[in-house]
Structure 1
């Protein structure tokens, strides 16, 4: 009879993963056609062709952050927000943890709306016209596909992501090969040089904010299944290049497509805008491929959202957790699809603001791991005993410092920081500033002063 594992970490027996599984998980999660929109957005910053390609490469390489933070899961068998309790304290970790959960479930709901619209477009290709009943059916089908896949464990998830990587990776490449020849090469190579400071850096920031920095909150959720003796280089490379390859290729195609679909970056429904640029005979394949590109992202978001809910000390069964998330995944899209279509745009902007808090969190977590936990490890009491580690004031202070600075340099339709002007206006540089400030402040507090929970207590 096997003993029950009461540790917050996975047991060694449960940790049988291989680096190639991380590659499949992150590859599948980045084959969506919204990467084309990112590519068009880069061009919109006024960059020439080579600058745009370089911005796409540097932005996609932000997944190196996810790769490096994945080492914390490999080291311990613990999930991301469980481990971040060491840097913030158990109670101090609550707000960043909650923002992480809100970000995951929020973007999941947004992707469900988009997936439902894609399914409706697919139905329309077969002559099934959109109405309220058909919209509800499409929503239920898409949500059901995500929920059914999350009933099973990690091994099943890896198999699904691997299959989706092959199938929809090939289909995506097929669609791109049809779209790329429509490029206006003369217009593409005639684009003038943009400012490296005023245009290139903001372009990179908006890509990094939406990709590597955004996904850092899920880094250890999948690497915790890796064998403890898996090499650091293989973990980092598998995560980084698993995401980089599809993301960079698709963004590169988006840069080319900006000449043939000029409204791609600003279209209210970019998936439909891309569809109109394709010959009719390939429309059905395109919508199936687009749908398949969204499902892996939703699977990862839902799994990490459930994990984040657990670290908020909301102890419910897996069935209850799935039910709660399913209700959110259905009610929010219903509100967007039938009541207030303007709500979606404002909600996406709100989720973008959450990125400031998540960037500041990622910076503290990164510095804490690199300079403390990588050598001293994560003592279980730091993550479970409130008497020992209720609030790590240095981590919380560093986080707040980054958030405040980030907000001061950020603007959107309903919020404008006093310094969100010039190169800081209408981009995500505020998120990068939040990351840098939190990292520097925390480094000063815990490395130079050598005063931190875990250093003094050798935790």
Structure 2
């Protein structure tokens, strides 16, 4: 345990540390440091747009307010628990997950994690480029091809350069972005508050319990659950003597406080203005810009771009670490650069060439949310079962990188649990982009057998699901619960065996 009384200053320059265990001397962060990256990545006026999605479940403002607080806070609480693993193991999330799935078996959830991270951060970059085009067009500066080309290059350069620089630069950058985006976001709320009509807010009718559950799941998936697979990446530099409770609290508070307040404000705004409610699904940034005076459009655009870039930087940095955990043997900056190139190419393709890609793209990413929820349940249960730190013992950090060590090569219980939870979960969620991504309409196969809904393939607007339960998407919650419950019971003896092996002396190599 560290006996240092004051954290050392972060190293300047590019971070060269990859997926290895962080050296004791480098573990200088304290729990409150976690506030900055999580707050900066989630303080965005784009969060206001989620309010329209909440109300479109057909629920009232007060129902929406309750699920907003619960859904966002619970989802970031999951991130906080995963962050404890980073402090206890001083390694990236997908390396620590080898204790659950085996050193080789971890590649199964690792691939899903990498696809999810690179996909969502590409989506954020696309939104930043489209937002620039929308605002420029509103200002009369032209929002055509030239604007999009410049915006794509600038956004990609910001994301890639920061992610290549690494942890220390990103932490300093996020502390600055927190203030910049936070101030402009507060100004947006002040300016837009005049559009709120309290009589309209109070008159929104209540919806059925299934719709409330659906809004809750949507908020969990859109916020904390989308970050859960990278949460330990930002806590691996924490001091060993840091309070686990404080790590959870600062992670949860930093991630949840801004989205909760912004979505609550968005609920009032969307309930007051029918044009905002209907326009956000097609053009979130552009719709919010329509209620602003011209003088505020430029700072609004800057805040939107910086907040989206901030979130994308966290994802690309972590997706680079995940790429290394899959066995790609290149330096960490190069891994971040590779993912940055993929992000750039994906952004260019969607913005300039794809005719019908955004809907299918989102459908694919949301589908990955089910196995990701299953992984989160498995990982958190495994963490809670452990009495000792990861890889504690005389072998000094080698077991997470040696398939012959105590974590083994494959853990078939964990892999089987993830498969089971995913199969059940996919059977109880539906494709929200049925028209754009018809190839993904195989989901929801358990709804009709269980009497929870009817799949309509004829008539206007077909295909669609009829009933209250299909769009509740309870499969995400069930995948999380199954992953947690099965692991907590079935892997208890395995964890104890691993910890006993940690206490055994390691034989000296032959002379």
Do they superpose with TM above 0.5?
yes
Task: Answer whether contact 1:48 1:193 (CA < 8 A) is retained.
Answer: yes
SS at match of 2:277: coil
Task: Say whether the 8 Å CA contact 2:49–2:263 is kept in structure 1.
Answer: yes
Determine whether 1:34 maps to 2:39: no
Does residue 124 in structure 1 map to residue 137 in structure 2? yes
Asked if residue 454 in structure 1 is aligned to residue 454 in structure 2, the reply is no
Residue 83 (1) aligns with residue 96 (2)? yes
2:308 corresponds to 1:281: no
Q: More deviation in 246-255 or 35-44?
A: 35-44
Using the alignment, how far apart are the partners of 1:71 and 1:160 within structure 2? 23
Return the alpha-carbon distance in structure 2 between the equivalents of residues 227 and 323 of structure 1.
28
Q: Quote the residue 1:43 is aligned against.
A: 55
Q: Is the 8 A contact 2:444 2:470 kept in 1?
A: no
Structural mapping, 1:245-284, within 5 Å: 245-258=257-270, 259-260=272-273, 261-264=275-278, 266-284=280-298
For 1:418, the equivalent position in structure 2 comes to: 445
Q: What SS class does the counterpart of residue 471 from structure 2 fall into?
A: coil
User: What secondary structure, in the 3-state scheme, does the structure 1 residue paired with 2:205 have?
Assistant: coil
- Indicate how the Cα distance of structure 1 residues 343 and 453 shifts in structure 2: closer, same or farther if over 3 A, else same: farther
TM-score by length of 1: 0.93
- The corresponding residue for 1:98 is 111
Q: Is the 8 A contact 2:166 2:317 kept in 1?
A: no
Q: Which runs of 4+ in 1 moved over 6 A?
A: 4-7
How far residue 310 of structure 1 moved from its aligned partner, in angstroms, is: 1.0
Aligned residues, how many?
Answer: 453
| Higher normalized contact order (CA 8 Å, seq sep 6+, divided by chain length) | 1
Indicate conservation of the 8 Å contact 1:90/1:386, yes or no.
Answer: yes
User: Structure 1 residues 450 and 327 mapped into 2: Cα distance closer, same or farther (>3 Å)?
Assistant: closer
Bigger helix fraction = 1
- After superposition, residues 68-79 of structure 1 pair within 5 angstroms as 68-79=81-92
Q: Which has the larger radius of gyration?
A: 2
Indicate if the aligned counterparts of 2:19 and 2:91 stay in contact, CA closer than 8 A.
Answer: no
Unaligned runs of 5+ in 2: 1-15, 435-439, 448-452, 454-466, 504-511
Note if 1:211 corresponds to 2:223.
Answer: yes
CA distances 1:405-444 after superposition (whole Å, capped 9, x unpaired): 1011111122232224344413432111111111112122
Q: Is the Cα contact below 8 Å between 2:382 and 2:495 reproduced in 1?
A: no
SS at 1:9 equivalent = coil
Q: How does 1:147-162 map to 2 (within 5 A)?
A: 147-162=160-175
Distance in structure 1 (CA, Å) of the matches to 2:384 and 2:314: 25
Q: Alpha carbons of 1:18 and 1:450: their partners in 2 closer, same or farther (altered >3 Å)?
A: closer
8 Å contact 1:424–1:430 — kept in the other structure? no
Check the 8 A contact 2:428/2:473 in 1, yes or no: no
Stretches of structure 1 that go unaligned for 5 or more consecutive residues are none
Matched with 2:309 is 295
Corresponding residue of 1:445? 490
Q: Answer yes or no: is 1:401 the counterpart of 2:420.
A: yes
Q: Which residue of 2 aligns with 1:223?
A: 235
After the TM superposition, which residues 139-218 of structure 1 pair with which residues of structure 2 at under 5 Å, given as runs?
A: 139-195=152-208, 197-218=209-230
1:385 paired to 2:402: yes
TM-score (ref. length: structure 2): 0.84
CA distance in 2, matches of 1:453, 1:121: 58
Q: CA deviation at 1:268?
A: 1.6
Q: Provide the aligned C-alpha RMSD in A.
A: 2.1
Distance 1:49 1:454 in 2: 49
- Change in Cα spacing, 1:377 to 1:245, as seen in structure 2 (3 Å) is same
- What is the CA–CA distance in structure 1 between the aligned matches of 2:332 and 2:445, rounded to whole Å? 44
